[in-house]
Amino acid sequence: MARTIKRVNMAAVQQAPKAKRVAAYARVSCGRDAMLHSLSAQVSYYSALIQRTPGWEYVGVYADEALSGTKDTRGEFQKLLADCRAGKIDLVVTKSISRFARNTVTTLQTVREFRQLGVDVYFEEQNIHTLGEEGEFVLTLLAAYAEEEARSVSENIRWHVQSNFRQGLSWSVEMFGYRQKNSRLVIVPEEAALLRMAAKMYLAGANPLDLERAFAEAGAVGRRGARMTGDHIVNLLCNEKTAGDMILQKTFVDDPIAKNNRKNTGERPQYYVEGSHEPILDRETYQKVLEERARRKAEGPRRHGDYPFCSRIVCGKCGGKYVHRLRGNAPYAWLCGTYNKKGKAGCDAKLIQECVLEAITAEVMGLPEFDGRAFRAEVKEIQVQDNTSLVFVFYDGRRAARTWANPDRRYGRRSKSCQQ
């Protein structure tokens, strides 16, 4: 059989078209159940649409719950951007410009970046492909309209919020001791009991650190599970809500697009509502707490003894003052200020756990337990001579030397060693 040879143009040879990698983006800007159900429906719709369309390869659906399109902090949206930049997506399908972003600048910046990456965005409602010739021009007009719509919605919400304020109703309050139900604050008994205990301790002379320890031992935590500091607890005791009153519109949003939250210093009307809800502290106790805080502020931190050791511990290596340290679940401690700023390159003095200082100080002063006020009155300073010895210098000229060692760190802040 004769062999046949033909010349062909390989560029003209038809190849199977490559599947387009497609993802979808969905968002709702309100956390109500109906809205979240709508988001779930969007996810199901786009998943089915992409998987049944010939020539499309399903990448996924990126969905943000209860987040405003005016912000750039949307987690799923950021993941979508990252995957596009990584070359994993060819086409993004979304319902409308307002679902994609309600900020003209954000919309155009994102679309232009996608165009440079070769990623097309298809807006279903407007029937726009951003890689098309007229896509960006039309998109600019529609995005500007979406931004104006966002401003209009924000104005309507602000009107509703201020209408509530004029009726003495709060909009959204998060505070230890209360939960909000139907625009009213309702007491949380366990948390309220801790605040009443804190008020008694504070009026009896306890410092913020004492309050912090008491709350930690009770297992109390603040918003998002964070540890409650002593200063925060004092602020709660002095908050007007604790006494059953409420100041409305302490802050306001000055730009519906940027969502900048500002302290209200007279730009908006404020409303003081007396007896708006059940108080945690009675009026007399609340007033005494305010007076006590004012008294301590007037005296200054070195006299009222919030931290008795403040400015009294001197590093024998560099001459710096020791500072207080609160960090995670580590024991309360004091460490050289130079080391705190510069590390071992500045000073290699070891930190001293507060429980060790309190125990040794009580022994030196001949007291059954540590007394912060007595310490401030009698002891001029504590000199840390090296990493094992302390020298107590009294105002009357006496000096006393003691050795020290920190307890095992495994026990944590409230170790048995610290409690003995």
pLDDT digits over 212-240, tens only? 888 988 888 887 677 888 888 999 999 88
Q: Assign domain 178-300 one CATH number from 2.60.120.10, 3.40.50.20, 3.90.1750.20, 1.10.10.10.
A: 3.90.1750.20
The model's pLDDT over 349-384, given as tens digits with 9 standing for 90+, comes to: 888 988 899 999 999 999 999 988 899 889 999 999
Indicate the class that CATH gives domain 17-151: alpha beta
The CA-atom distances, in angstroms, between 239 and each of 35, 177, 197, 247 are 35, 11, 16, 10
Question: Is the confidence at residue 289, as pLDDT, over 80?
Answer: yes
Cβ-count burial 111-127 (b if 16+ within 10 Å, e if not): beebeeeebbbbbeeee
**Structure pTM?**
0.41
More confident residue, 110 or 101: 110
Report angle CA 192, 332, 199 to the nearest 5 degrees: 25
Supply the DSSP symbol for 243.
G
Q: For residue 333, what pLDDT is reported?
A: 84
- pLDDT score, position 229: 85
Three-state DSSP class for residue 118: coil
- 233: tokens are 């607890």
Kindly report which listed range (82-86, 246-250, 319-323) carries the lowest average pLDDT score.
Answer: 246-250
Point out the least confidently predicted range of 12-16, 54-58, 283-287: 12-16
Evaluate if residue 76 carries a pLDDT over 70: yes
pLDDT attached to residue 239: 87
**pLDDT at residue 304, as a whole number:** 38
Count of CB atoms situated within 10 Å of the CB of 333: 21
Average pLDDT over residues 130-158: 61
Look at residues 417, 222, 391 and name the one whose alpha carbon lies nearest to residue 332: 417
Domain limits, the chain: 17-151, 178-300, 313-419
Query: What local confidence, expressed as pLDDT, does residue 419 receive?
Result: 43
Beta strands in 219-317 (DSSP E): 246-248, 251-253, 261-263, 271-273, 313-315
CA proximity to 309, closest of 342, 332, 327 = 332
By CB atoms closer than 10 A (0-12, 13-18, 19+), residue 267 is: exposed
Q: How confident is the model at residue 262 (pLDDT cuts 50, 70, 90)?
A: low
* pLDDT score at 257: 46
Residue by residue, DSSP assigns 340-404 as HHHGGGT--PPPEEHHHHHHHHHHHHT-SS--HHHHHHHEEEEEE-SSSEEEEEETTS-EEEEE-
pLDDT, tens digit, 9 for 90 and up, residues 309-319 = 888 999 988 99
Structure confidence at residue 27 (pLDDT): 83
C-alpha pair distances (Å), 262 with each of 84, 102, 107, 269, 385: 35, 21, 26, 14, 49
> What mean pLDDT do residues 204-214 have?
83
Cα–Cα distance, 373 to 264 (Å, whole number)? 39
Matching fold, domains 17-151 and 178-300: no
Q: Give 43 or 270, the one with higher predicted confidence.
A: 43
Percentage of residues in the chain having pLDDT higher than 70: 68
